[in-house]
Homo-oligomer: A and B are copies of this chain.
Amino acid sequence: MNSIDYARENKQKHLDELIDWLRIPSISTDMAYKPEVQKAADWLVDSMKTAGLENIQLIESPFDLHPLVYADWLHAGEDKPTVLIYGHFDVQPPDPLELWDSPPFEPEVRDNNLYARGSSDDKGQTFIHVKAVEALLRTEGKLPVNVKFICEGEEESGGRTLSDFLPKNKELLKADVALVSDTGILSADQPSITYGLRGIYYDYIDVTGPSIDLHSGMFGGGIDNPLNVLGHIIAGLKDLDGNVLIPGFYDDVRELSAEERALLAQLPFDEAGWLAHTGASRVWGESDYTLVERLGARPTLDVHGIIGGYTGEGGKTVLPSTVHCKVSMRLVPDQDPEKIKKQFRDHVLSMAPDTVTIKFGDDTHGSIPSITDYSIPPMKAAKKAYTAGFGKEPVFMREGGSIPVVAEFQEHLGLETVLMGFGLPTDALHSPNENFHLPNFYRGIETSIHFLTEYGKA
């Protein structure tokens, strides 16, 4: 039996194992769930042992945050390249819970999709490579390339532990290329390889007016209201057409070349299906760019959460003291999160009247945007692997999300990253009813086997 046969014969077993992992609510943004993130790490360690990986280490966070998991298999020979495989086992919070059709941590298969928080982002995709290694080792006794795994539990909450670990462990993590599966493909029938990712800068704004909540009848018209002020600040960050209004925001944006615009225009992107999935009335944004360009190659700004004043049932005539807002900017090459942070904060402060005080977040995070050259050998191996795994040649595309680790691998380890995604636009990442398309899970394991094999021939 070869490794592909092994993968096909063990589909149900692999699914059952993944479901077991998904039952652990490893929410890294809320420290109340710290023991659960630890449990998810322990589970991965056990799974790696089963797969036949070696030197497995659970590395505690020096910041009392979440652990890392390292493992390797290094017997392919010195002439063979080394692949550093990255994944994460933490998940986004599942709120709002009432919108899930089945509980987020009680995985359920419906219509060939596996519904659970973390199913696609990123336990399912991480698990694919563990199972590919297992299939190769069980059937062939060896891997075609040397493999190292580094997995984290803070991808959804800033990745501080890994950011600290990388520059201090260059020898341990030394490799020829990084492999990251935390992105998607265009559709179940059209695989794609992401060569560009947006960066991000995420910040928090607290607006404080009076020191206590006041009665709007007695004070309204005489004391300024932080919620009204916040409305003006938000309106001043981005106009209704999608143009960010922060001075200097677009200064460092690398304009798309005519060649790249032509390449992106040829993508078989299902705009109608994409829109239908969102339930929005229409696509929207900067009118000078196509939707594909806006999503992958243009920066933007979004408010992610506001809470302030009275939010219970019914009406309360309160003039609130402090109100809270979360906002992020998606960045593209060559925008720098640190420079954007300053521009953003200066602009917010310039808009705030002297009736309020502004406090920004202490634990903001940023990641720089990235682009990988699509002509390097591991990218070519990835192209062949998808063609074999999915029966169709992949297209190259940019993606709108942020994977901070890609920029960090470049900076600290000098590694280019192959983004080998298996998600779909309908996976509902970060949303209620997150799911992973099961054919992509199974094909993903085969594609990973093909990649390791093809890259071993290079």
Q: A residues bordering B, Cβ < 8 Å?
A: 29-31, 92-93, 95-96, 99, 156-158, 184, 198, 200, 202, 204, 209-225, 227-238, 240, 242, 278-286, 291, 294-295, 298-321, 323-324, 326, 328, 330, 353-357, 363, 365, 399-402, 425, 428-433
Contacts and interface: CB of A to CB of B under 8 A. Distances in A.
6 contacts: A215-B430, A217-B402, A219-B295, A224-B242, A305-B308, A306-B323
A284 B320 contact: no
Contact of A227 (B200, B291, B306): B306
Q: Which of A210, A222, A302 has the most CB of B within 10 A?
A: A222
B234 A232 contact: yes
A304 to B, nearest CB: 5
A365 B316 CA distance: 12
A30 B365 CA distance: 39
A283 B234 contact: no
A221 B242 CA distance: 7
Contacts of A158: 315
Contact of A228 (B209, B213, B302, B430): B302
B228 A230 contact: no
A215 B91 CA distance: 13
A218 to B, nearest CB: 5
B157 A302 contact: no
Q: Copy number in this complex?
A: 2
Contacts of A198: 217
A315 B295 contact: no
Contacts of A356: 281
A220 B291 CA distance: 10
Contacts of A234: 227-228, 230-232, 234-235
A357 B324 CA distance: 24
Given A218-B399, A313-B29, A401-B217, A430 B283 contact: no
B323 A328 contact: no
Contacts of A156: 316
A139 to B, nearest CB: 36
A425 B218 contact: yes
B313 A99 contact: no
A299 B230 CA distance: 21
Given A217-B401, A221-B294, A428-B212, A306 B307 contact: yes
Contacts of A315: 29, 157-158, 202, 204, 304, 326, 328, 365
Given A315-B326, A317-B202, A432-B212, A305 B294 contact: no
Contact of A93 (B96, B235, B310, B431): B310
A233 B240 CA distance: 10
A431 B307 CA distance: 17
Given A29-B315, A228-B302, 17 more contacts: A29-B316, A200-B317, A210-B278, A214-B431, A216-B302, A217-B402, A221-B285, A222-B294, A223-B280, A230-B231, A230-B306, A234-B234, A281-B355, A304-B310, A317-B328, A317-B430, A318-B431
